[in-house]
Amino acid sequence: MPINIGDEMGKTESKTDKEIGYELGIPNIHRVQSPSSINTFRQCPRKYFYHYIEQRPTKPSIHLVKGSVAHSVLEDFFDNGIIDEKEYKTILRTRASALLKTRWLSAGEQLKKMAITDEELHFSDLAIMVSNWLEDFLKKMEKEIATGKTPNEAFKVLTPIRERKYVHNGYAVQGFIDAIHEQDGKITVLDYKTSKRDDISDEYFLQLAIYALLYKHQHGKIPDQVGLVFLRHGEKTIEATENMVDHAIKEIKYVHENTTSKKLDDYPQKKSGLCKWSIGQCDFYEPCFER
């Protein structure tokens, strides 16, 4: 029986029943989970049902567009080195600005469909986030240059492994890691965030715990640190531990145990302020409350 493996980037691949979830001891696993799907179930089982089992479409969001644009800018930023080392700051600022404009224009059709009336305001907000990230990056470069490295050498040292997909068939979970830094023998796993918050919430902690598990499965050891790059505020990291990995396994197993059914009634509503708020509502508010 083919298994549909859905992930946060909308890609799919096919596996067989015997190849996924073999470490869980749970029959009838129908899908591979991700940090996003697991956190969705924790937030509201009914929302999980509509999104991942019935696969109902979600509405376009300016926040998702901005997040996608920011991720692509930071991923492509490292594609080329520095030619003129004397003007490396100007070169990198120009590069980031040009990438942002190009990626924003590429999102034009999505923006039109959403009928965004304050597009310039959203672009300016995104430009500030990219600029914040870049200035932090330039400070890191200055520290490396102060140790005797050239700008090109510093840039190379600070260039992460980008947008890497990890899959753990045994626990039937996968995720995309935005950036993996290896410096001075230490591994740091990072995820970019465009949200206004700047704390590592329970939701974010679980995401990082799953990344630690995935990294350990692939490389045989947990990373030294995991963290979030809040593009509005800066980088926050915490030590990765075996306890984090155990926490991830526990949550993954819990979600798999409770998502084998395809019956709506097995996925109860979890009413909260996330159902409906002053300027919006859950994508599945109507079917959820009209039945």
- Which tens digit of pLDDT belongs to each residue from 157-187? 999 999 999 999 999 999 999 999 998 899 9
Output the pLDDT for position 16.
45
Whether residue 72 lies inside any domain: the answer is yes
Q: Is residue 99 part of a domain?
A: yes
Q: How confident is the model at residue 28 (pLDDT cuts 50, 70, 90)?
A: confident
The pLDDT of residue 291 is 64
| Enclosing domain of residue 148 | 62-158
Q: How confident is the model at residue 263 (pLDDT cuts 50, 70, 90)?
A: very high
Query: 3-state SS of the chain?
Result: CCEECCCCCCCCCEECHHHCCCCCCCCCCCECECHHHHHHHHHCHHHHHHHHHCCCCCCCCHHHHHHHHHHHHHHHCCCCCCCCHHHHHHHHHHHHHHHHHHHHHHCHHHHHHHCCCCHHHHHHHHHHHHHHHHHHHHHHHHHHHCCCCCHHHHHHHHCCEEEEEEEECCCCEEEEEEEEEEECCEEEEEEEECCCCCCCCHHHHHHHHHHHHHHHHHHCCCCCEEEEEECCCEEEEEECCHHHHHHHHHHHHHHHHCCCCCCHHHCCCCCCCCCEECCEECCCHHHHHHC
Judged by average pLDDT, the poorest of 5-9, 60-64, 133-137 is 5-9
Q: Is residue 66 domain-resident?
A: yes
Within a domain: 119: yes
Instruction: Please check whether residue 148 lies inside any domain of the structure.
Output: yes
pLDDT given for residue 2 in this prediction? 35
| Percent residues over pLDDT 70 in the chain | 93
Cβ–Cβ < 8 Å for 189, 215: yes
The reply to whether 112 falls in a domain is: yes
**Structural domain includes residue 237:** no
The arithmetic mean of pLDDT across residues 55-75, rounded, is 94
pLDDT top residue among 232 and 13: 232
pLDDT, residue 290, reads 78
Please state the domain count of the chain.
Answer: 1
- pLDDT for position 150: 95
Supply the pLDDT for residue 29.
84
User: How sure is the predictor about 155, in pLDDT bands with cuts at 50, 70 and 90?
Assistant: very high
pLDDT at 11 over 50: no
Name the amino acid, one letter, at 183.
Answer: Q
Within a domain: residue 78? yes
Region 13-34: what's the mean pLDDT?
73
